[in-house]
Amino acid sequence: MCFFLFDGACFDLVFLFLKKKITQKELEKRDLEIQYQKEQLHAIIVTQEEERKRIAQDLHDDISSKLNIVSLNTHLLSAPNLTEVETKEITENIISLTTKALENSRKIAHNLLPPVFEKFGLSAGVEELCAEFESSKAVKVHYKNTAEFDENDIDRHLHVFRILQEFMNNSLRHGKASEIKIEFLDDNGIFTCNYEDNGIGFDSQNAENQKGLGMKNIDSRISFLNGTIRISSEINKGFVANFTF
């Protein structure tokens, strides 16, 4: 009888020990998930702040400075004894500056949310993005899409658009690529984007190469899309990325 009691007590102790271990592992896993979410949130906040600073700088350096000169020129028009030639010169200067200010304000607004993307959706937005990069004559972009996107999903698609913007900027600025390929596929409602360039590449096995703000921003966007991403690159062998959303 005592043996069975002892055996039962041992079983209970082992059961409690295993239960404690499982609970501890679950807590550790949850802590890691929370930490990962915090890091993602921090990356997004930092990215947003950088974007706000850039917009503020653009507004201050370009739009505000031009409008200040327009204001000064406008006051000059009220000065007495202006000749007809002087009046014409000041007026032309005002028109020129306001035209440039309008053009640049459109560019800033376009960078925030391209009108084509907002009106016609992701595929049209990516087509325009490719055309913009090709207009530099520095790179050739091949774009193919066989997927049908829901026009009401614009908020999620904006993340996809920003990811591609980041990739393309990196391909041109850092990768020195002369050719970029982008393809969208639909596998039973799971969308995949295949991206590659023929640039100088980098060692993707080196974790330090994937710690930049741009990569953290991309990881955060992929997480919001409930997607996955796979990146591969070798020195002098280009860059390849495949992500789902």
Question: Same structural domain for residues 240 and 141?
Answer: yes
Question: Same structural domain for residues 120 and 82?
Answer: no
| Residues 49-99: tens digit of each pLDDT | 666 677 777 776 777 778 888 888 888 888 888 888 989 999 998 999 888
Q: Can you give the pLDDT at residue 47?
A: 63
Of 112, 133, 155, which residue sits at a domain end?
Answer: 112
Work out the burial of residue 104: count CB atoms within 10 Å of its CB; fewer than 13 is exposed, 13-18 middle, 19 or more buried: middle
Q: Can you give the pLDDT at residue 243?
A: 97
Of 75, 95, 112, which residue sits at a domain end?
Answer: 112
Q: Can you give the pLDDT at residue 72?
A: 83
Which residue stretches of the chain have pLDDT < 70?
Answer: 1-21, 31, 36-52, 60, 109-111, 207-214
Q: Can you give the pLDDT at residue 41?
A: 64
Q: 0.85 exceeded by the pTM?
A: no
Question: Same structural domain for residues 125 and 231?
Answer: yes
Question: Same structural domain for residues 15 and 76?
Answer: yes
Of 86, 112, 138, which residue sits at a domain end?
Answer: 112
Question: Same structural domain for residues 30 and 138?
Answer: no
Look-up of token digits 């391209």 = 114
Contacts of 163 (CB under 8 A, 6+ apart): 193, 218, 221, 222, 243
Domain range for 183 is 115-244
β partners of residue 233: 239
User: Would you give the distance in Å from CA 36 to the centre of its chain?
Assistant: 19
- Structural domain count of the chain: 2
Provide the CATH number for the domain around residue 155. 3.30.565.10
Q: Can you give the pLDDT at residue 245?
A: 93
Question: Same structural domain for residues 124 and 240?
Answer: yes
Q: What is the largest CA-CA distance in the chain?
A: 120
Amino acid (1-letter code) at residue 66: K
